[in-house]
Amino acid sequence: MSEEKEVKCVIWDLDNTIWDGTLAESDDVRLKPGIVELIKTLDSRGILHSISSKNTHEETMEKLKQLGIEEYFLYPEINWNAKSIGVGNIQKNLNIGMDTIVFIDDQPFEREEVKAVHPEITCIDAAEYSSLPELKRFNPRFITHDSKRRRTMYLDDIKRKNEEDTFQGTPEAFLAQLNMRFVIHEAKEEDLKRAEELTVRTNQLNATGKTYDYEELNQFRLSDNYKLLVCELTDKYGSYGKIGLALIEIKEDCWHLRLLLMSCRVMSRGVGTVLMSHIMQETKKAGKKLQADFKTTKRNRMMYVSYKFSNFKEISSDEEGHILFENDLTMIQPFPPYIDVVIQ
């Protein structure tokens, strides 16, 4: 079993996996010993749960409700399609890497079918379920306020999506009525666990792919030569949590953006340029030029596009994909009118 990435989601089969028995044959299925406690334990660590099961959707959801565990499963795929299709749909809906997902099933055929289509996923025999909480990949270094609320934040996202799908009006009008508030402030000590978690978990929207631990981030926070910025987004449904991070080195002739990342959960909210625009405004006020590091990875193409869109020019690059950008700050995008930006 790979230990490269912390697990972000466990996708469960149901028959003879979460419960003993086959629901299509008998309604009298019994939950496996300790399974509810296990699901709750992983949920409290910020690990999400979902289902890919060959069953009748309505009957199965009713059984999960009777058993008191329906609320723990996001975007359940309960139908007669290949399990790999369900796994793919869940991964797209959660917008996480396939290499951060574990699929659990009692049938070797089903595990092999999923693995054949999604080679990056980890597949585990259902007989091994009780050992999950002890495994390294299921034990994040820190459990933050945001990680404890992760499932709730995804449930809020589902409500937003449902409203968006039925909203009559322009995308801008929909965003305007969400009452979004984007708060940017210099990191405090209590932000550092979440800041480390962001660097570890964010792949698609991390400009350098670098990770920093608590101690390194605290050194930057305490140094006069650096600014460590954290941002949080809220709307009428609640908080998205701490969703962005920037590390800026203050040099004599320029501000050097060493790290910029944004949670991919918020990109559809049109907030991607807010932190960047704030940094550009502050750099210009300081009378400096702005430089930024970028490192090409398999997943962060969108961040490259964001830099180019914000008028950054490449001034150097190497064969390993390291790029140094510079911005003359002649063009700074204003904050979107539908977001209340608060600088603390």
Query: For position 178, which CATH number holds?
Result: 3.40.630.30
Q: Are residues 212 and 338 in the same domain?
A: yes
With cut-offs at 50, 70 and 90, classify the pLDDT of residue 222: very high
In a domain, 170, yes or no: yes
| Domain identity same for 328 and 185 | yes
Of the three residues 108, 138, 168, the one that is the final residue of a domain is: 138
Minimum mean pLDDT among 78-82, 129-133, 167-171, 201-205: which range?
A: 201-205
203 pLDDT more than 80: no
194 and 308 both lie in a single domain: yes
Distance CA 77, CA 203 (A): 25
The number of domains in the chain is: 2
Percent of the chain clearing pLDDT 90 (strictly above): 70
User: Average of pLDDT values for 2-15?
Assistant: 85
Q: What is the pLDDT of residue 313?
A: 94
Task: Answer yes or no: is pLDDT of 145 > 90.
Answer: no
- The verdict on 198 and 231 lying in the same domain is yes
Does some domain include residue 109? Answer: yes
Domain assignment present for 4: no
Query: Which pLDDT belongs to residue 2?
Result: 40
Structure tokens at 79: 């139908």
Q: Considering only residues 299 and 82, tell me which one the structure prediction assigns the higher pLDDT.
A: 82
Tell me, yes or no, whether 303 lies in a domain. yes
Please check whether residue 122 lies inside any domain of the structure. yes
pLDDT of residue 4: 67
Rounded Cα–Cα distance for residues 110 and 116 (Å) = 10
Is residue 40 predicted with pLDDT exceeding 50?
yes
Same domain, 49 and 124: yes
Q: Which residues span the domain enclosing 227? A: 145-343
Average pLDDT value for residue range 20-25: 92
Same domain, 121 and 150: no
Number of other residues whose CB lies within 10 A of the CB of residue 88: 19
Residue 172 has pLDDT above 70, yes or no: yes
**Amino acid letter, 223:** S
Last residue of a domain, one of 107, 138, 169: 138
pLDDT at 255 over 90: yes
Domain termination site, one of 138, 154, 182: 138
Which pLDDT band holds residue 88 (cuts at 50, 70, 90)?
A: very high
Mean pLDDT of 294-313: 86
Q: Is the pLDDT of residue 202 over 80?
A: no
332 and 188, same domain (yes or no):
yes
Instruction: Give the pLDDT band of residue 85 (cuts 50, 70, 90).
Output: very high
- How far is CA 232 from each of CA 55, 182, 212, 219, 229, rounded to the nearest angstrom? 40, 6, 19, 22, 10
What's the rounded Cα separation, in Å, for the pair 246 and 253?
19
Does 2 map to a domain? Answer: no
pLDDT for residue 206 is more than 80: no
Residues 178 and 88 in one domain: no
- Residue 268, pLDDT > 50, answer yes
Quote the tokens at residue 195: 């800041």
| 99 and 208 in a common domain | no
**CA atoms 42, 46, 47, 50: torsion sign:** positive
Instruction: Note whether 196 and 57 are same-domain residues.
Output: no
pTM over 0.85: no
**What mean pLDDT is reported for the chain?**
91
Co-location of 47 and 116 in the same domain: yes
pLDDT tens column, 99-133 = 999 999 999 999 999 999 999 999 999 999 999 99
Report d(CA 103, CA 121) in Å as an integer.
Answer: 7
Residue 335 falls inside a structural domain:
yes
Q: Do 113 and 166 reside in the same domain of the chain?
A: no
The pLDDT score that the predictor gives to residue 320 is 85
